[in-house]
């Protein structure tokens, strides 16, 4: 039946592995399991609920209120985005339980979600700062060669961290005269990304370095692999740790003296902002970064509004 119980004594609920296996992204599977585990542990502790049939809409409302008031690790309120994510995970799992005839209806469906307002915008870099950051990476060490290829990929594709980490060598290919990456985007959608010549150059240098080390990649091997593994030195054929990506970007940002937080999402924000600044229309940018709504893309538009750009000058009466 594809089911198992969570390794926890906090609640007696059976959790169905089949639900998690349906997601392509390892990150999504882990996040959903953590969120679902958290709810059922909380519900069992608060209401002594021991079966799915005992779940009521009121339990979900009280859980949402708990998250908004004191659901953080330190007892602080959870951010609206976190609350919305947890409810989305629970709703998706409830839909699965309805399909399996374990629940009669989804108790999360009509629960009001918090507005997912962005409290602090993602910090984007200027073109000059991107060049300085890339130039700060050594090009004559295995780690430096990997880091240059990796960060150039982030800044010239606008791909999300999970999309880059999940790339296999087979996803890097040539179509006509273009080098492209095939990737798995949000919702499991397959996308293609044409690579910038600078990204191709650094990626090819990285692959040559891998060959020099006797680590030539096979089709099913991970494209970006760690240069060392302290816990298991012989196991290098694995994807980079998501936390490692943050540490790499943060290290070089501090090295060039940036006094604001730089994350993998900063690279995506920089990519979007630079395209808009250079005159690419916002609808083309939205398609390029797989935004379902152009309103999402508009959040990254940091262009100064000049009087000379007013559309009234296009009038030709």
Domain that residue 46 falls in: 17-100
Out of 100, 115, 140, a domain closes at: 100
Can you read off the two tokens belonging to residue 70?
């004191």
User: Do 132 and 95 belong together in one domain?
Assistant: no
User: Do 161 and 80 belong together in one domain?
Assistant: no
pLDDT score of 310 more than 90: no
| Any domain includes 6 | no
pLDDT score of 230 more than 70: no
Out of 41, 65, 100, a domain closes at: 100
- Of the two residues 6 and 21, the one the predictor is more confident about is 21
User: Do 57 and 204 belong together in one domain?
Assistant: no
| Any domain includes 270 | yes
Query: Is the full-model pTM beyond 0.85?
Result: no
**What is the SS3 string spanning the chain?**
CCCEECCCCCCCCEECHHHHHCCCCHHHHHHHHHHHHHHHHHHHHHHCCCCHHHCCHHHHHHHHHHHHHHCCCCCCCCCHHHHHHHHHHHHHHHHHHHHCCCCCCCCCCCCCCCCCCCCCCCCCCCHHHHHHHHHCCCCCCHHHHHHHHHHHHHHHHCCCHHHHHCCEHHHEEEECCEEEEEEECHHHCEEEEECCHHHHHHHHHHHHHHHHCCCCCCCCCECCCCCCCCCCCCCCCCCCCHHHHHHHHHHHHHHCCCCCCCCHHHHHHHHHHHHHHCCCCHHHHHHHCCCCCHHHHHCCCCCCCCHHHCHHHHCCC
User: Do 169 and 210 belong together in one domain?
Assistant: yes
pLDDT score of 5 more than 50: no
| Any domain includes 1 | no
User: Do 170 and 268 belong together in one domain?
Assistant: yes
What's the pLDDT tens digit per position in 26-39?
Answer: 778 888 889 998 99
**Count: domains in the chain:** 2
User: Do 72 and 140 belong together in one domain?
Assistant: no
> What is the predicted pLDDT for the residue at 79?
84
User: Do 301 and 198 belong together in one domain?
Assistant: yes
User: Do 251 and 179 belong together in one domain?
Assistant: yes
User: Do 198 and 252 belong together in one domain?
Assistant: yes
> What is the predicted pLDDT for the residue at 92?
92
User: Do 82 and 194 belong together in one domain?
Assistant: no
> What is the predicted pLDDT for the residue at 116?
59
User: Do 146 and 239 belong together in one domain?
Assistant: yes
What's the pLDDT tens digit per position in 112-155?
Answer: 888 755 555 678 899 999 999 999 999 999 999 999 999 999 99
Mean residue pLDDT of the chain comes to 86
> What is the predicted pLDDT for the residue at 164?
94
- For residue 89, give every residue at least 6 positions away whose Cβ sits within 8 Å of its Cβ, in sequence order, or none: 31, 32, 35, 36
Q: How confident is the model at residue 2 (pLDDT cuts 50, 70, 90)?
A: very low
> What is the predicted pLDDT for the residue at 9?
46
What's the pLDDT tens digit per position in 182-202?
Answer: 998 876 788 899 999 999 999
> What is the predicted pLDDT for the residue at 1?
38
User: Do 45 and 154 belong together in one domain?
Assistant: no
| Any domain includes 164 | yes
* Percentage above 70 pLDDT, the chain: 90
CATH code: domain of residue 163: 1.10.443.10
């Amino acid at each position: 039946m594809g089911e198992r119980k969570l390794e926890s004594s906090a609640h007696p609920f059976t959790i169905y592995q089949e639900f998690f296996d349906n997601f392509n992204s390892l990150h999504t599977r882990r996040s959903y399991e953590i969120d679902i585990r958290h709810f059922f542990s909380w519900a069992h502790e608060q209401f002594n609920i021991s079966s799915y049939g005992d779940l009521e809409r009121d339990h979900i409302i009280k859980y949402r209120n708990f998250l908004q008031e004191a659901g953080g690790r330190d007892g602080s309120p959870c951010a609206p985005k976190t609350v919305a994510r947890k409810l989305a995970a629970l709703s998706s799992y409830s839909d699965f339980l309805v399909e399996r005839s374990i629940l009669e209806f989804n108790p999360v469906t009509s629960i009001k979600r918090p507005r997912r307002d962005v409290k602090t915008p993602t910090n984007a870099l200027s073109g000059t700062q991107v060049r300085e950051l890339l130039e700060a990476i050594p090009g004559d060490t295995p780690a430096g060669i990997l880091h240059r290829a990796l960060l150039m990929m982030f800044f010239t594709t606008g791909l999300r961290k999970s999309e880059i980490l999940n790339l296999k060598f087979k996803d890097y290919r040539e179509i006509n005269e273009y080098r492209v990456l095939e990737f798995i985007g949000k919702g499991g959608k397959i996308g293609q990304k044409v690579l910038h010549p600078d990204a191709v150059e650094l990626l090819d240098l990285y692959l040559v370095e891998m060959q020099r080390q006797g680590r030539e990649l096979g089709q099913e091997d991970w494209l970006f692999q760690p240069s060392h593994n302290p816990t298991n030195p012989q196991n290098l054929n694995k994807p980079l740790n998501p936390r490692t990506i943050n540490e790499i970007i943060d290290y070089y940002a501090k090295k060039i003296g940036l006094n604001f937080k730089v994350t993998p999402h900063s690279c995506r924000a920089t990519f979007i902002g630079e395209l808009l600044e250079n005159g690419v229309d916002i609808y083309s940018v939205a398609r390029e970064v797989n935004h379902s709504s152009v309103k999402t893309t508009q959040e990254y538009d940091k262009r100064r509004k000049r009087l000379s750009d007013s559309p009234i000058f296009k009038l030709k009466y």
